[in-house]
Structure formats: C-alpha cells, structure tokens
Structure 1
Amino acid sequence: MNRPRVLVTGGSGFIGGTVVPLLRSAGVRVRVLAHLRSPAAGPRVEVVEGDLTDPATLRGICRDVDCVLHLASYIGKDEERCEAVNVDGTRHLVTEAGRAGVGGLVQLSTAAVYGDGPFRGTTEGAVEPRPVSPTSRSRLAGERFVLGAGGAVLRPYLVYGRGDEWVMPALLRTVRALRSGLPEGGSALLSLTEVSSLATTLARMSVTSPSRRVTGVLHACPAQPVSLRELVVAAHRHLGFPLVEGDQPFDRARQELIAAGCDGHLLDLFGIDHWFDATRLRTAAGHAPDIDLPAGLAAHAAWYREQLS
C-alpha cells in the first residue's frame, strides 16, 4: 500500500511543529522544506533545504508529492520581506507544485486579512478583506496563487497553545495595562483556535483523497466564540494572569494602553468583535478546530507558565 507523501513548509514553526508529528504518527511520509530552522528528523520525515524566495532552490521538492501543506509565512513589519516570502514565495511554491502535477494544495492564512472589524458570525465571502498590516496584506496577496490553482486556504483568527509567541503574551501586556477595567466590560466576542485542534484539521485535509478535497477559503475556528471577559478569566485561572475587574469606555481603554507603553492596536484585536463562522469547513472537510478555551488553556498551562514567568 502506497502511503501519501505531504510536503510541508514551515514545518519547524508554531503550527508546523505540531502538524509534522501528527502526520508522521499517522504513517504519512513527510517532506519538510527547511530554511532557517530544521525540524527534528525521524521515521518517515525527509528534510530538504530550500528558500521560498529563491525558486532555483525549490526545483524538484514536489516530486512524488500528493499534497503541499503551505504553513510558512513571514510575520513582521518589513514590507519587502513580507512581499518576498508571503507573495513571491507562495507563487514560487505553487508554480513548482504545478510543474510536478501535485493535486492537493492547502495553505494556512489568517482571518486578520479582513481588517479591524467588527465581525460577527462572518461567513466566507460575506465581507471584502481590508488588511491593515504589511503581514496581512501580503498573506492575502499570496492566497490568490493557491486559490487560482484550485487549493484550499484556511483562515483562523487568534491561535494559541504551545509555541505561541504572540497571542497570550500580547494579552498579558494588555491586562497588565488596563488597570481601570476592560473595554466595554470585555463584551467583544473572539474566535480563538487551539493549536493542536488546528493542526489536526490541517493534517486531515492534507491526506484527503482527491475526490473529497475541499477548495476555496475556509474559516478555521471553533463553533462558539468567547468574550474578552471569558478569555481574561480563563487566563487568570489557568495561567495566573492578572484578573481585571470593572469596565471602561473603549477610547479610554485605548488611552490607558498607550499610556502604559503598549500598542493601541492591541485593543482592535482583543476589544472588537472578531468571530467567524466555520460551518463550511466543518461540513465540507468533516473536521474543524473544536477544543474550547478552558480545555485548551489547561492543556498548555505548564508551557505558558514556564515561558511567561
């Protein structure tokens, strides 16, 4: 029996570091494109050197591959780097996959491509993306190559769990600064996706048979959003974060954040509704991230406490 082979980019990153072991444990043959960091080698894992920004280094990486799982991206403010990795790099990869006749393409993107919100139960195609950062603008631009080749693009909003270097650290900075209370009582509703549950969805999609492949944009979020208040309470209970009492107007909360030396944009991420309907992924792919916030934070509490101590 021929086992499927999946090419993974970003295999040593936050999400990829969870996806690769899942694929390997399922008996999938994994080829990982390594650039700056190489994942740990192991049974059924082949590591190949390459750089998404240099198409010459990608020649042959898709040979005998059944699906490309594109998890690599540059997240930062360097616009040239965003363009080189997230746009040109994706184009180079999709071109190489087409040259090799790869039938499956799955890309991890982000719901940040929609912009600042509010978004309430938003379905795919319901609103026009209006990205506000170099990262999200370039990731949206890179999506078109995957979609144009008949692939699938997954958009989670905030992803947390082991390896998270941004979401919970940013929340910690926020709650430390908001001494006068949460904006509007912490009523904003957010889609928070636990990393292992997202990795399971990605792994399953990468080994789906050609006749059952899902294409297009799909939101990768749990069925139910959580409020900022619920998030703060859960982070207090499981991670030891400060518990913010009371509430204050949104604009005053922003001023308090800025006065504390924080980026006021944090309030746009945590204090405005950003929840997205993932019914299409759940129905079409048969699986979507589904771990609720208390269970997810409890599972990663020891790692977070060690990292944030």
Structure 2
Amino acid sequence: MNRPRVLVTGGSGFIGGTVLPLLRAEEVRVRVLAHRRPPSRGRHLEVVDGDLTDPASLRGVCRGVDRVLHLASYIGKDEQRCLAVNADGTRHLLAEARRAGVSGFVQLSTAAVYGNGPFRGTAEGEAEPRPVSATSRTRLAGERLTLGAGGAVLRPYLVYGRGDQWVMTGLLRMLRALRSGLPEKGSALLSLTEVGTLAAALTRLALTAPARQAAGVFHACPPRPVSLRELVAATHQHLGFPLLRGDQPFERARQELVAAGCDGHLLDLFGVDHWFDATRLRTVGGCAPGPGLSAGLAAHAAWYRERLL
C-alpha cells in the first residue's frame, strides 16, 4: 500500500510529541522539520533542518510530501518573535507547500483567538475573533493565510496532558492564590481537550478526510464542557491540587489574584465561559470525542504529580 508522506512542524513540542507516534503507528512516512529540538529518529521518520523564520532554509522541505501538519508556534510576549514564527513562518511554509504541490495543509491554532469571552456553545463562524495577546493575534494572522490557501485550522481551547507546560501550571497558581474561594461559585464552563484526543483528530483529519471537506476552521473540543468547579474537584482528586469550597465575586477574585502576584488574565482563562461546539470536526473528520475529564486526568496524573507538586 502506498502510504502518504507527511511533513510535520513542531514535532518535538507538546502536541507534536503525541502526534508523531500516531503517524508512525499508521506506517505513514513522516518528515519532521527540526529547528532546536529534533525528535528521536526511527522507522518511517526523516528529520530535516529548517527554520520557519528563514525562507531559504525551507527550500525543498515539502518536495515529495502529500500533506503538511503545521503544529509549530511561538507562545510568548515578544511580539516580533510571535510575528516572525506564527505569521511569517506560516507564510513561508505555505509557499513551499504550494511550490511542491502539497494536497492538504492542516494547522494547529487555538480558540484563544476569539478573546476573553464569554462563549457558550459557540460553533465555527458564530463569533468574530478578537485576540488579546501577541501570541493570539499572530496565530490568527497565520490562520488566515492557511485558510486563504484552502487549508484546515484546528482550534482547541485548553489542552492538557503529558507535556503541558501552561494549563495545569496556571490553574495551580490560581488556586493557590484564591484563598477566599472560586469566582462565582466556579460556574464558568470550559472546553478542555486531552492531548491524545487532539493528536488523533489532527492525524485523522490530515490523513483521511477529503481535501475539499477538510478545509476551514474546526473547533477541537469535547462534546461537553466542564465547570471550573468540576475541574477543581477533578484536579484535587487526581493531581492533589487545592480544593477550594468558598465563593467570591469575580472582580474580588481578580483583586486577590493580582495581590498575590499572579496575572489577572488567569481569571479570564478559567473563570469565564469558554466552551465551543465541535460537531463539525466529529462529522467531517469522524473524530472520537475522547475520554471525559476524570479519565483524561487519571491517564496523565503521574506525569503531572512528578512535575507540579
């Protein structure tokens, strides 16, 4: 059987590290664009050097490639670096893909491009993106280039699991600072996606969905949101995080966070409704909904406990 060849960027990152074993299990021929942290080599895996910010270094990386999984991004406050990687880097990669005649281009983005919310069961096309950070602004700019070229963009909200350096760290920091209790009884509803489920969706969309259907924006979220209160209870049970039982108004919680030296934006991430309808991904891509939060956290509990507590 003639297996496709897939170029993967960001293969050594949080999501890429889970995607690569799935591709290799499918016996797909994988070419990984490596910059600073090359992944371990193995069967059906080719590693090539290149830098998204340097177009000359990308020449030929898509030659002989059928699909591109663009997972690389820069997350930080350096706006110039964000622009160079997330927007211009995507433009450079798309140019190479177009030159090589690549038949499918799938990019990982984030639902953070929508801004601070609230969002309640929001489907693709129902909300205008209003990003509030340099990372989100430039990832949205990169998205628009991909969509303009007929590619697909996946937007998860909060992604957790082995390799996560942001979500549970931020939640733990917030819980340790909020001594008076959760904002608004922890009623905010959130879309949390387990990393293996997201990796499977990316893999399936890139390999199996017809190119004409696997285009546009896809929310990559589970069918049911969880409340902040449920999230706190689950992380207490599986990860040993603090269990907050009290209640306080939203703005008082923000003041408490800031007084404790935390970024008040944590409250916008966890304390405001951010849940998104992902019916399109499950319909077009045939993607499974994945485990519930409790089962997902249990699967990654040992990794988190070793690093966070």
By the TM > 0.5 criterion, same fold? Answer: yes
Deviation of residue 212 (structure 1)? 6.5
What are the equivalent positions in structure 2 for 1:152-163 lying under 5 Å apart?
A: 152-163=152-163
What are the equivalent positions in structure 2 for 1:51-200 lying under 5 Å apart?
A: 51-200=51-200
- Write the deviation string for residues 74-120 of structure 1: whole angstroms up to 9, x where unpaired: 00000000000000000000010000000100000000000000000
Deviation of residue 149 (structure 1)? 1.1
| Counterpart code for 1:105 | F
Alpha-carbon distance between aligned partners in 1 of 2:228 and 2:267, rounded to the nearest angstrom: 10
On the 8 A contact 1:220/1:288 being kept in 2, the answer is no
Q: Who is 1:42 aligned against?
A: 42
Q: What SS does the corresponding residue of 2:201 show, helix, strand or coil?
A: helix
Deviation of residue 145 (structure 1)? 1.3
Alpha-carbon distance between aligned partners in 2 of 1:211 and 1:138, rounded to the nearest angstrom: 25
Alpha-carbon distance between aligned partners in 2 of 1:42 and 1:127, rounded to the nearest angstrom: 42
Q: Who is 2:298 aligned against?
A: 298
Deviation of residue 252 (structure 1)? 0.5
On the 8 A contact 1:221/1:288 being kept in 2, the answer is no
Alpha-carbon distance between aligned partners in 2 of 1:251 and 1:131, rounded to the nearest angstrom: 21
TM-score by length of structure 1 reads 0.98
User: Aligned residues: percent identity?
Assistant: 77
Q: What root-mean-square deviation, in Å, do the aligned CA atoms of Structure 1 and Structure 2 show?
A: 0.9
Alpha-carbon distance between aligned partners in 1 of 2:154 and 2:178, rounded to the nearest angstrom: 33
Deviation of residue 246 (structure 1)? 1.4
Deviation of residue 186 (structure 1)? 0.1
Q: What SS does the corresponding residue of 1:179 show, helix, strand or coil?
A: coil
The reply to whether residue 228 of structure 1 matches residue 234 of structure 2 is no
Alpha-carbon distance between aligned partners in 2 of 1:282 and 1:234, rounded to the nearest angstrom: 26
Alpha-carbon distance between aligned partners in 2 of 1:26 and 1:200, rounded to the nearest angstrom: 11
Q: Who is 1:284 aligned against?
A: 284
| Counterpart code for 2:222 | P
Alpha-carbon distance between aligned partners in 1 of 2:35 and 2:21, rounded to the nearest angstrom: 19
TM-score by length of structure 2 reads 0.98
Alpha-carbon distance between aligned partners in 2 of 1:121 and 1:241, rounded to the nearest angstrom: 28
Please list every run of 5 or more consecutive structure 1 residues that lacks an aligned counterpart in the other structure: none
Please list every run of 5 or more consecutive structure 2 residues that lacks an aligned counterpart in the other structure: none
| Counterpart code for 1:131 | P
Alpha-carbon distance between aligned partners in 2 of 1:37 and 1:254, rounded to the nearest angstrom: 37
The verdict on how the C-alpha distance between 1:37 and 1:289 changes in structure 2, with shifts beyond 3 A counting, is: farther
Deviation of residue 291 (structure 1)? 1.8
Alpha-carbon distance between aligned partners in 2 of 1:233 and 1:169, rounded to the nearest angstrom: 16
Alpha-carbon distance between aligned partners in 1 of 2:144 and 2:251, rounded to the nearest angstrom: 36
Q: What is the number of residues matched between the two proteins?
A: 309
Alpha-carbon distance between aligned partners in 1 of 2:288 and 2:67, rounded to the nearest angstrom: 19
Alpha-carbon distance between aligned partners in 2 of 1:57 and 1:16, rounded to the nearest angstrom: 21
On the 8 A contact 1:104/1:213 being kept in 2, the answer is no
| Counterpart code for 1:58 | L
On the 8 A contact 1:278/1:288 being kept in 2, the answer is no
Deviation of residue 290 (structure 1)? 2.4
Q: Who is 2:249 aligned against?
A: 249
Q: Structure 1 stretches (4+) deviating beyond 6 angstroms?
A: none
Alpha-carbon distance between aligned partners in 1 of 2:79 and 2:252, rounded to the nearest angstrom: 31
The verdict on how the C-alpha distance between 1:97 and 1:137 changes in structure 2, with shifts beyond 3 A counting, is: same
